[in-house]
Amino acid sequence: MDNHFEDQYKKENPGSALKVNRGVEGGHEGSPGSASRVTRKKTKPKFSTQQYVDGILACDRTMLGRAITLIESNAQAHQEQAQEVLKDILPKSGNSIRVGITGVPGAGKSTFIESLGVKLIDKGHQVAVMAVDPSSSVTRGSILGDKTRMERLSRDPRAFIRPSPSGGALGGVARKTRETMLLFEAAGYDVLLVETVGVGQSEVTVRSMVDFFLLVLIAGAGDELQGIKKGVIELADSILINKADGDNIQPAKLARAEYERALHYLQPATKGWRTGVYTASSTTEEGIEELWDVIKSYQSLTMENGVFQARRREQSKEWLHAMVQEQLRTMFYRHKEIASALPEIEKGVMDGTIPVTQGAWELLNRFQK
């Protein structure tokens, strides 16, 4: 383990709940990467926990937005109050379908979410849209950052679009999104859409926080199966071949058949459910309604056979362990004894004078003392 990892970890996890930074303003209110601009002043919560809770339960959009900001803050005082708020609203959470949506940039995820979202609102649903984009601190919100991409939806008071929390490692971004989902549910949002880009580890993370996972693809690249990792297909509960309009209808149908064949050889992502491939156009809206029907059948089937509830329970347990691991790691690398011994042990390991296992034991012994 080199220092780079440690530095990176510290940088990316400035607000770990176990870090003693009480009284330090992490600063948030929509200022990306503000955790690095630490100012030494007391953080005094602006609203009482009860005010946040009442606001959320009354679906007061302003208070809901503020509560999300509280969750996203890296200041310890904010994190502590956020946990109190969460504890109070927890009994009112859970009543939703959580849908994850992944696909390469340009596949049409935003357009799809807008077209589906508007339809759902017309049906009387309340729709919350979130994103998990750990790169957004660098790219300043590459997804959902530009709200004009969901113009109709962002104007509608029955929808709430929240861009990805910025300035953090995937673990931190995922925690914030998971907790934000609970707030939305307590406020009465019954369809939660979580978008993520189809690169790297973020699909696996989003899969672990949603009930239904949709992979959005486009046809016509000629290498239908090559651009997409097999692992991502295995996570999907449905595959949508988007942009099935105009000249693209035929290639989309071909792609559909090809993916259907490929799926024959894979385990379904959800027990008892057959992952299907569908075509749609997010611009003409052809096929969008049908895809919603698929999601609804999935929900009734998995609720009936108990898979839905079992997965959510399992997800909570996994999340607990992930948080413990993350925080233990932070504590370990912040430990004074470790920090002072690490360079020498690293050198010994690199020079071949200390066996790696012994080096690790040495560090862990110091940590336990």
Q: How many residues bind ligand GDP (CB under 6 A)?
A: 15
- Answer for the pair 78, 26: CB distance below 8 angstroms, yes or no: yes
Provide CB contacts within 8 A for 133, sequence distance 6+.
139, 141, 142, 143, 144, 164, 173, 196, 197, 202
**What residues numbered 298-337 form the site for ligand GDP, per CB under 6 A?**
none
Per CB under 6 A, the list member of 73, 164, 282, 302 interacting with ligand GDP is 282
**164 vs 159: CA distance, rounded Å:** 16
Q: Which position has the token pair 């995937």? A: 170
Provide CB contacts within 8 A for 83, sequence distance 6+.
none
x/- mask, ligand GDP, residues 241-260, rule CB under 6 A, reads -xx-x---------------
- Answer for the pair 110, 172: CB distance below 8 angstroms, yes or no: no
SS3 284: coil
Q: Which stretch, 122-130, 168-176, 276-284, 321-329, contacts ligand GDP (CB under 6 A)?
A: 276-284
For ligand GDP, the closer CB: 254 or 360: 254
Per CB under 6 A, the list member of 66, 98, 109, 176 interacting with ligand GDP is 109
Provide CB contacts within 8 A for 78, sequence distance 6+.
26, 28, 43, 45, 70
Q: With binding defined as CB under 6 A, does residue 149 bind ligand GDP?
A: yes
**160 vs 95: CA distance, rounded Å:** 17
Q: Which stretch, 170-178, 239-247, 316-324, 333-341, contacts ligand GDP (CB under 6 A)?
A: 239-247
Q: Smallest distance, Å, CB 245 to ligand GDP?
A: 5
SS3 102: strand
* Token output for 314: 């399992």
Give the distance, in angstroms, between the CA of residue 231 and the centroid of all CA atoms in the same chain.
18
For ligand GDP, the closer CB: 162 or 243: 243
Q: With binding defined as CB under 6 A, does residue 227 bind ligand GDP?
A: no
SS3 304: helix
For ligand GDP, the closer CB: 2 or 290: 290
Q: Closest CB to ligand GDP belongs to which residue? A: 108
Give the distance, in angstroms, between the CA of residue 23 and the centroid of all CA atoms in the same chain.
28
CA angle 55, 60, 65 (to 5 degrees): 90
Q: Smallest distance, Å, CB 29 to ligand GDP?
A: 26
x/- mask, ligand GDP, residues 68-107, rule CB under 6 A, reads -----------------------------------x-xxx
Q: Smallest distance, Å, CB 96 to ligand GDP?
A: 22
**What residues numbered 111-130 form the site for ligand GDP, per CB under 6 A?**
111
- Answer for the pair 327, 18: CB distance below 8 angstroms, yes or no: yes
For ligand GDP, the closer CB: 183 or 288: 288
Residues lying near ligand GDP in the complex (CB under 6 A) are found at 103, 105-111, 149, 242-243, 245, 281-283
